[in-house]
Amino acid sequence: MDDQDHILGTLYGQAIGDAMGMPSELWPAERIQTEFNGRITDFLDGPQSNDIAKNFTKGQYTDDTNQALAILDGLIETDWQPDTQVLVKHILAWAESVGAWEHNILGPSSKAALSAIKAGQDPKSITDQALTNGAGMRIAPIGTLFMPSQHEQLVHMVFDVTKITHSSDVAISGAAMIAGAVSAAMAYQDWDDIIDFALKVNDEGLRLGAPTWAAKTHDRLRLGIYLAQKYEGDDDQFAQRIYDVIGTGTMISESVPAAVAIAYYCRNVQKCALMCANLGGDTDTIGAMATAICGARTGRSAIPADWLRLIDTKNPQHDLTQYAGQILQFKKAMMR
């Protein structure tokens, strides 16, 4: 197996799901059907009628992928030893560069935590109660760093990079679930084993976070997998049940299990990105998480070349191949 191909599959998968889901972000399914003549079938500009998406054009990814890569920048700067101040520095530098506060680009938990940090305040009272999905949307590349046998290192890395804005039990567990699914997919495990490993690291992550009353991502993923198996071959019914039962909102307890269940159902980047874009709710974030998992499993070589070119062309601030090379160096050093 070509590790670099599957690392790139993860990075491009995240970017593709994010960019494909951007135009319909935070719209209900009914509005998506009305605004896009039934459904989204390709990358599109963010419509001016969408207060968040109007800041982006066709093929651009949003804060989900930009923050994921800012996290990698911070880790690379410190030789992969998580340093809270350095990670915050890179997230804030990105946020300032895009006018994240003025353009309403940041999610509520990240905005509150980063605003507290900017004001010189301890954000822990905010991060311990953070229930939204900023923790999961930017974590997929962390899954590429470790093999499933290194689950303890994986979960502690997830905790260290997530706690800067989200330190609740549901945030750490949900982020670990996404990273774990990527790690197992990178190892080319079969899909049922990918789910089992995602549940395992989810439960390990839960114990590290501050207790909350949030619904458990473990049980909600189990329900999502049940729906995937029940509606196998019926894309519309499956998507509708995820929307109605699991939920597709910005809460971690909805969007993370929804994303992993959709990845399990779709199993390839193209189908996954399009299903997420048309789902309704937090389409770009669910797309980023779900499609990263599919990309980790299939590799970049299975993604249409024109989709890869569009991502590269519309997001020149990042070279995903360079990030993959840095990740590969880290993995090789870990094996010595």
Per-residue pLDDT of the chain (336 residues; tens, 9 = 90+): 579 999 999 999 999 999 999 999 999 999 999 999 999 999 999 999 999 999 899 999 999 999 999 999 999 999 999 999 999 999 999 988 888 877 777 788 888 888 888 888 998 999 999 999 999 999 999 999 999 999 999 999 999 999 999 999 999 999 999 999 999 999 999 999 999 999 999 999 999 999 999 999 999 999 999 999 999 999 999 999 999 999 999 999 999 999 999 999 999 999 999 999 999 999 999 999 999 999 999 999 999 999 999 999 999 999 999 999 999 999 988 876
Give CA–CA dist 47/292, Å, rounded: 24
- What are the backbone angles phi and psi of residue 168, rounded to the nearest 5°? -75, 165
Structural domain range at position 22: 3-335
Q: Exposed/middle/buried for 70, CB within 10 Å: 0-12, 13-18, 19+?
A: buried
- What are the backbone angles phi and psi of residue 27, rounded to the nearest 5°? -100, 145
Model pTM greater than 0.75? yes
CATH number at residue 194: 1.10.4080.10
Give CA–CA dist 34/273, Å, rounded: 19
- Structurally, the chain folds into a number of domains equal to 1
Write down the H helix ranges in 98-150.
Answer: 108-118, 124-127, 134-137, 140-143
Q: What is the three-class DSSP state of 27? A: strand
Per-residue confidence (pLDDT) for residue 85, from 0 to 100: 94
Helices (H) and strands (E) in the chain, counts: 18, 0
CA distances from 76 to 50, 79, 300 (A): 35, 5, 22
Give CA–CA dist 326/145, Å, rounded: 10
As a whole number of Å, the CA-based R_g of the chain is 18
Per-residue confidence (pLDDT) for residue 205, from 0 to 100: 98
